[in-house]
Structure 1
Amino acid sequence: MTAQTLLRRATGLSVSKSVAERAVGQRMEQTGFADSETYLHAITPAEMTQLIELVVVPESWLFRDPQAFYATVELVQERWARGRATRILSIPCAGGEEPYSMAMALRDGGVPKQAFSIDAYDLSPGCIERAQAGIYGRNAFRAQDVAFRERYFTHVADDCYRIIDALREQVTFRQGNLLQFDTATYSKHYDVIFCRNLLIYFDKPTTRAAIQNLSALLADDGMLLAGYAEVPSFCQNGFAPLQFRQAFALKKDSTPPAAVIQVAALPPARTLRSVPPAPRPRRRVPHRRQPQRRRARVPCRYSKPLCKRTCWPKRACWPTVASCAKRAKKCHAHLARVPEAAEAYFMLGIINELAGKMDLADDYWRRCIYLQPDHYEALCHLALLAERNGNSTAASTLKARAARIFQRRQASN
């Protein structure tokens, strides 16, 4: 059995061959094994835990995607007003940033501690240990407003802060795997589940199994918070979106089976490489020339891979403010048929930029590069937007990514 297969069976994660082999190599050096086959054959549960630690690299921060927390506070307040406490699950919880953010948001919302409970699970024992310690460095405080640090943290050393005991006691941390969760004991136990940016590491069968477990754990009137790139997967497996702006909240889908069959029987939508612009009079924008104009959208011809502006074709090829609503409607309609269409999200970013809605533009461009990490144009726009907002670190990172993509394109040409 290969290291890649072994890790996948143990965790459900689809790690690359190079990552799996590198982790095995590190553990072999530390344990004295000279042959990988012998090491894998002799691996124990304790050693498997150490191996998993090398491939699980949690990346999170406090109040990441804050709209999810605000939506949860609203739900908890409504239930407590009716005399109901809310049980919340965070899985995976990484280093505790998400469940602690939830506890802080509820405290800020005036919710009494008896109105809710928070359980947090993660595959990594190391993550659980860090979460229980509740000590965070500079990278954990990336939110635009970090005033919460003064309210809920004490300074311990250098750039490290520890969350106050009153909030640490509000969260119960345990090591656990969603795919091996005791769904029978905890059937419909949780009113709110945070499961964000986990399914992106799974293949389709594992994704279905994970969503099935989450559905079993969630109460019928409960709410699930997902990562924005994962919403289509949930909607394809028994969930429906809730109307919380940018929270990416879902509920169990109560659509009758007959309706599902009717939708499934419709002819499949043809996958488009890009979202076509709104129709124009043929004398101005001939239909036969549209593909050529779409391909003409290229980076500027300067020596540097990313400059202060991006050169596009003639203005007529881009949507005007008057046509933004119509074009946005077309983009959303296309995404309803093809949820993974990165180009549609890029076009929505452009449309919202033209309308002056920079927060929405930023969100759509991030969705674009999540689905298509080498989307050069989206990376350029995000880099320039980060510069405009004074975030030089993020701008430099995005520029570097765009530069690498630019160089690869030049080499391939």
Structure 2
Amino acid sequence: MKTLALLRQATGLNLSRATVERAVRQRMEALGVDDQQAYHAQLTQDELAALIELVVVPESWLFRDAQGFAVATAFAKARLAAGARLVRMLSIPCAGGEEPYSLAMALADAGVAPTAFAIDAIDLSAACIARAEAGIFGRNAFRGKDLSFRDRHFAPLGDDQYVIDAGLRRRVRFRQGNLLTSEIAAPRTYDVIFCRNLLIYFDAATTAAAIARLAALLADDGVMLAGYAEVPSFTRNGFTPLPYRQAFALRKAAAWEGAQAPLWDRLPLPRSDSGSAPTPTPAPAPKSAPARHRPRGRAVPPVAAPLAPAPTPTPPTAPAPTIAALAPTADLAQARQLADQGRPTQAQAACRAVLAQQPDNAEAWFLLGLLAEDARPDEAEQHLRRCIYLQPDHYDALCHLALLAGQHGDTAGAATLKARAARVWRRRQHTSKA
């Protein structure tokens, strides 16, 4: 089996050929190997693990997308008040521990006893797990204006390094694993699951399989916290959004059969509307989901931070038709197919052929932007901005632009684009209920 196929099989990620070739070159240089055929022919399990570390590039920070932690904390307190002795939570993938430690700090600050919660944290990367278990973070992990949690829960080590409180560290159990293939826990084990910015790296089939595993692990009345670009994928695969602002929280779509109203429907938190949780009808699988050509997610995003998906999620409700949407799509369909086959050069050529005849085709600009994200991020940004110029409410383009801005260190720009995408999402949810 070729190295590209081996890595895709081992990680579940829709890796591009260029990404894998870069990783192979790095490993060959490190080993002092000149013969590429000999390297591929003698690829051991240890060497495959080394390659995985290069294609999975995690980046996150503490209390990223903080509203999700507020929802998880409120849900945990409600669960305990209802008589539960222990609330179990899962963070997958957990990157360097930023997300599960943020959750532990949020629970502690809310007065939840350390013995009343347990957090499992899983990541594909052994290096990430080792870093997370150490609990040491540098300046880049502390972002935002309010860093008072650092004084409460960390001790300084010097050189802008801080180590998290040992008591909190004991509340998180880290281990290496794969959502798709590892034995994680018994069905319905977890009250809350964080799975953010992972699905964006998967194709449609893998996304569906991953969500099915998450649904099996989540309690029937539990809460799922996703990345903002992943909510549409969840709604197409058995989940319904919860109306908590900026939290990107979901529940299982199946009707609740408990004697009382479910906990997630009565949390003391601001809501995006005054009614019950929205229950949009899942849209059919998106036609425009090209394979994303970047390693996993974490804003590299992360996992806790973001991107490089396979099919890019599409909002559950289609936008009003535009000039581009009404134009012929045969060539664009061919471009998507070439992208999904891992043939980016041919896919880009097909996109440009479409644009030569239909310069206002927003979807062609969007796909062209996705295809350029790995090797030419500046060019990708230009294409995606052209897309939203033609179609200002293009949800996926806004999400990808936000992720690119975050990768460039433009946190203000990323926040603005993220908020804009969230408004588009809420507007479409409102329209679907009308």
| TM-score normalised over the length of structure 2 | 0.63
Aligned-residue offset at 1:83: 2.0
User: 1:57-106, CA deviations, whole angstroms, 9 ceiling, x for partnerless residues?
Assistant: 10100000000000011000011112212100000000000000000000
Aligned-residue offset at 1:50: 0.8
Q: Which amino acid aligns with 1:243?
A: P
Q: Which amino acid aligns with 2:52?
A: I
| Distance change >3 Å, CA 260–CA 107, structure 1 → 2 | closer
- Cα distance in 1 for partners of 2:214, 2:147 equals 32
Q: Which residue of 2 aligns with 1:351?
A: none
Q: Which residue of 2 aligns with 1:309?
A: none
1:191 aligned onto 2:215: no
1:250 aligned onto 2:250: yes
Q: Which residue of 2 aligns with 1:314?
A: none
1:161 aligned onto 2:190: no
| Distance change >3 Å, CA 272–CA 138, structure 1 → 2 | farther
Structure 1: segments with no counterpart, 5+ residues? 277-292, 296-340, 349-363, 383-391, 399-413
Is the Cα contact below 8 Å between 1:342 and 1:372 reproduced in 2? no
Q: Which residue of 2 aligns with 1:114?
A: 115
Q: Which residue of 2 aligns with 1:144?
A: 145
Aligned-residue offset at 1:394: 4.2
1:370 aligned onto 2:370: no
Q: Which residue of 2 aligns with 1:238?
A: 238
Q: Report 1:85-124 matches (<5 A).
A: 85-124=86-125
Percent sequence identity is 52
Q: Report 1:29-178 matches (<5 A).
A: 29-84=29-84, 85-178=86-179
- Cα distance in 2 for partners of 1:178, 1:109 equals 30
Is the Cα contact below 8 Å between 1:190 and 1:218 reproduced in 2? yes
Q: Which amino acid aligns with 2:244?
A: F
1:18 aligned onto 2:18: yes
| Distance change >3 Å, CA 221–CA 343, structure 1 → 2 | farther
- Cα distance in 1 for partners of 2:145, 2:392 equals 24
RMSD across aligned C-alpha pairs, in angstroms? 3.7
Is the Cα contact below 8 Å between 1:343 and 1:368 reproduced in 2? no
Q: Which amino acid aligns with 2:398?
A: I
Aligned-residue offset at 1:32: 3.9
User: 1:143-176, CA deviations, whole angstroms, 9 ceiling, x for partnerless residues?
Assistant: 2211100000011021111101011111000000
Q: Which amino acid aligns with 1:51?
A: L
Q: Which amino acid aligns with 1:141?
A: F
- Cα distance in 1 for partners of 2:55, 2:156 equals 31
- Cα distance in 2 for partners of 1:263, 1:57 equals 32
Structure 2: segments with no counterpart, 5+ residues? 257-278, 285-316, 326-359, 363-386, 416-434
SS at match of 1:179: coil
Is the Cα contact below 8 Å between 1:122 and 1:128 reproduced in 2? yes
- Cα distance in 1 for partners of 2:111, 2:149 equals 14
Aligned-residue offset at 1:113: 1.2
- Cα distance in 2 for partners of 1:343, 1:232 equals 22
Aligned-residue offset at 1:3: 2.8
- Cα distance in 1 for partners of 2:66, 2:282 equals 37
| Distance change >3 Å, CA 59–CA 343, structure 1 → 2 | farther
Bigger Rg, structure 1 or 2: 1
- Cα distance in 2 for partners of 1:395, 1:70 equals 22
Q: Report 1:325-364 matches (<5 A).
A: 346=392
- Cα distance in 2 for partners of 1:373, 1:3 equals 32
Is the Cα contact below 8 Å between 2:156 and 2:163 reproduced in 1? yes
| Distance change >3 Å, CA 347–CA 13, structure 1 → 2 | closer
Q: Which amino acid aligns with 1:112?
A: A
SS at match of 1:65: coil
Q: Which residue of 2 aligns with 1:408?
A: none
Aligned-residue offset at 1:216: 1.0
- Cα distance in 2 for partners of 1:196, 1:263 equals 21
1:227 aligned onto 2:256: no
- Cα distance in 2 for partners of 1:219, 1:36 equals 48
Q: Number of residue pairs matched?
A: 303
- Cα distance in 2 for partners of 1:99, 1:368 equals 29
| Distance change >3 Å, CA 18–CA 98, structure 1 → 2 | same
Aligned-residue offset at 1:115: 1.5
Q: Report 1:290-301 matches (<5 A).
A: none
117-126 or 37-46, larger mean C-alpha shift? 37-46
- Cα distance in 2 for partners of 1:66, 1:270 equals 29
Q: Which residue of 2 aligns with 1:288?
A: none
- Cα distance in 1 for partners of 2:210, 2:388 equals 24
Q: Which amino acid aligns with 1:60?
A: S
| Distance change >3 Å, CA 394–CA 89, structure 1 → 2 | closer
- Cα distance in 2 for partners of 1:30, 1:75 equals 48
Aligned-residue offset at 1:206: 0.9
Q: Which residue of 2 aligns with 1:301?
A: none
Runs of 4+ residues deviating >4 angstroms: 259-264, 268-271, 273-276, 341-348, 372-375, 392-398
Aligned-residue offset at 1:210: 0.7
Q: Which amino acid aligns with 1:78?
A: A
SS at match of 2:219: strand
SS at match of 2:89: strand
